[in-house]
Amino acid sequence: MQLTGSQFTETTGIVGNDLATLPDYPAEIRAPAGSLAGVSSYQIQFGREDIQTPGDQPDVLVVMNPAALKVNLPELRPNGIIIANKATFNKRNLQLAGWDTNPLEDESLGEYTLVSIDMTMLAEKALEDLGLSSKVMARSTNMFALGLLYWLYDRPMDSTFNFIETKFKSRPEIVEANKRALQAGYNYGRTTRLISTSYTVAKATLPSGTYRNIMGNHAIALGLVAAGHKSGLRLVYAGYPITPASDILHMVSNYKNFGVITFQAEDEIAAVTSAIGAAFAGALAVTGTSGPGMALKSEAIGLAVSAELPLVLINVQRAGPSTGMPTKTEQADLFQAFYGRNSETPTVVLAAATPVDCFTMAYEACRIAIQHMVPVILLSDSYLGNGSEPWLLPGMEDLPPITNSQITSVNGEFQPFEITDPATMARSWAIPGTPELEHRIGGLEKDAVTGNVSYDAENHERMVHRRQKKVDVVADHIPLAATFGDEKGDLLVLGWGSTHGAIRSAVERVRGEGHAVSHLHLRHLNPFPKNLGDVLVRFRRVLVPELNLGQLGRMIRSEFLIDTILFNKVKGKPFLASEIEAKIFEVLKETKDA
């Protein structure tokens, strides 16, 4: 199902629509077929207008079995279209999904346009002379459905034909089966006109340039490779397999011809510590994981803070404490990124706002880490990592330069922990192999200049402040906060991370009705942009929607003494724009009444 969805997405990008996607799948690799827990779905919103989210309520729902209908029907808009593969609506599957009677036959779906087709039989018919097993034929049913949708939305099939030919190159019979099934679905739609309308969706009016679709995890991989390329440093990416971050490791591994080293470590701790070793040796060192992995890495992050080494840590957040819901989304690791270590151990914290922004912020994380000799945590999440959208491709010349403090010699005696640049507060990065600069670093407290182990009271206090200041000065090197909408008004909706699309759509709708509501989305969370306090006080109220119990909202309260309104959702799912819109109206009404 994920493959079918990504093919539709690919083609939709090619025909020039704007789009946003939401893949949703169980953690189990082969979850029990037909069960509610095993439903894998793929949602896409596309159109000629600026698309910010995968949509609140789909217009069309394609279901390949009764469980899929059961799980997704509540999302479908009233009067929406249901396209169902009726072959799978047998007694066993209906029972598994908890239907007492067959909904395709009992008129319970009366308010929808129901298109019930025996896709299994039709696909098999198209393949009958190929001598394939029924198992293989059954697998091509998804292609039949995809063909039907290509007809419904008037999309070309060449891209998917090419994909099939490449993917199954070594198995010509599978190529033929999938191509035939796809064509059969398309022809079936065209011939039978079972659905009375087919749609033509005009091209979106996007800024000019070259586009491709990109998923957040892939965008992060490209951002890291770009930073390695631009900085002239070797990229070393160390990771341990974890959902939903593993794709970054897979994707970076494909770019070995850039001199990139990827290392699948024995555990999360080895992933971060090997990255720290690589940073000591002069590389652009990165490790990626999800929340539980971050928990395991926390002691080592402290080492990188103490040793003042550049390190990029990526947390593709997932839902819940402990193992939680690995394939579902949440943004509840913000406190962990800020505070999840022993002692005073500040790090820079960034967050990507959209799948495309994952590229920009991965690059930004590398720039800050290298320039300031500090660890940087970049927060993404499952929704961004697996979601995709069209990307106006940047030129390499548009990316900011990445400077570093590597040295090959010094005048006089080398002082490893002396701050050599007050603007960045970076110490010199003297890498092993450089003559005359031999020195020792470590996790014991060290003298602020020589780097020798020091238990001196005054020195320790000075170093604690210095490590905080190293994070604080980053504020001089990042953009100021800029609101979408007006610079002042009744309400500011303040967000961070993957809630960007839902907040932006909601704010656009509300502003369309003439309300003084603006949107500010933070991508730099530690430090905050220097003008954040000034921006916040220009609004009567500040609403902070988050997929947690109010982490940014509380930070804003403590930092700026502003009585933020927390708006929280923790269902493992992104916000719907309509949920935020309703909350905005509620707040506006309260503000007015007050």
Partner 1 sequence: MPRSEEATVTQALTRKDFTSDQTVRWCPGCGDYSILAQVQKTFPELGRKKEEFVFVSGIGCSSRFPYYMNTYGFHTIHGRAPAVATGIKIANPDLSVWVVTGDGDGLSIGGNHLIHLLRRNLDINILLFNNRIYGLTKGQYSPTSEFGKVTKSTPLGSIDWPFNPPSLALGAAATFIARSVDVEGQHLQDIIKAAYHHHGTSFLEIYQNCIIFNDNAFADVTEKDTKVEHQLLLEHGQPMLFGKDKSKGIGMDGHHPVVIDLTDGKHSIDEILLHDKTDRMTALMLSEMTYRPEFPVPLGIFYEIEINTYEDLIHEQIERAVEKMGPGDMEAILHAGHTWKVK
Report, in Å, the least distance between residue 384 CB and partner 1: 19
For partner 1, which is the closer residue by CB, 441 or 570? 441
Residue type, 578: S
Q: Are strands 539-546 and 489-496 parallel, antiparallel or unpaired?
A: parallel
Three-state secondary-structure class, residue 145: helix
CA atoms of 98 and 147, how far apart (whole Å): 29
Q: Are strands 235-239 and 284-289 parallel, antiparallel or unpaired?
A: parallel
For partner 1, which is the closer residue by CB, 297 or 318? 297
Report, in Å, the least distance between residue 63 CB and partner 1: 28
CA 585 to chain centre: 28
Q: Residue 496: enclosing H or E segment and its boundaries?
A: strand 489-496
Q: Are strands 426-427 and 419-421 parallel, antiparallel or unpaired?
A: antiparallel
Report, in Å, the least distance between residue 207 CB and partner 1: 7
Q: What is the 3-state secondary structure (H, E, C) of 75-137?
A: HCCCCCEEEEEHHHCCHHHHHHHCCCCCCCCCCCCCCCEEEEECHHHHHHHHCHHHCCCHHHH
Cβ proximity of 34 and 65 under 8 Å: yes
Residue type, 177: A
For partner 1, which is the closer residue by CB, 27 or 269? 269
Report, in Å, the least distance between residue 76 CB and partner 1: 29
Cβ proximity of 420 and 409 under 8 Å: no
Report, in Å, the least distance between residue 442 CB and partner 1: 3
Report, in Å, the least distance between residue 233 CB and partner 1: 10
For partner 1, which is the closer residue by CB, 127 or 448? 448
Report, in Å, the least distance between residue 445 CB and partner 1: 12
CA atoms of 165 and 178, how far apart (whole Å): 9
Report phi then psi at 588, rounded to 5: -60, -40
For partner 1, which is the closer residue by CB, 92 or 256? 256
For partner 1, which is the closer residue by CB, 122 or 286? 286
Report, in Å, the least distance between residue 219 CB and partner 1: 10
For partner 1, which is the closer residue by CB, 163 or 335? 163
Cβ proximity of 194 and 201 under 8 Å: no
Report, in Å, the least distance between residue 341 CB and partner 1: 12
For partner 1, which is the closer residue by CB, 441 or 464? 441
For partner 1, which is the closer residue by CB, 36 or 441? 441
Three-state secondary-structure class, residue 65: coil
Closest-CA residue to 117 (of 40, 38, 185) = 185
For partner 1, which is the closer residue by CB, 359 or 528? 359
Residues sharing a CB contact under 8 Å with residue 404, sequence separation 6 or more, in sequence order: 231, 233, 310, 370, 371, 429
Report, in Å, the least distance between residue 433 CB and partner 1: 6
Write out the two tokens for 214: 């990109």
CA 276 to chain centre: 25
Three-state secondary-structure class, residue 561: coil
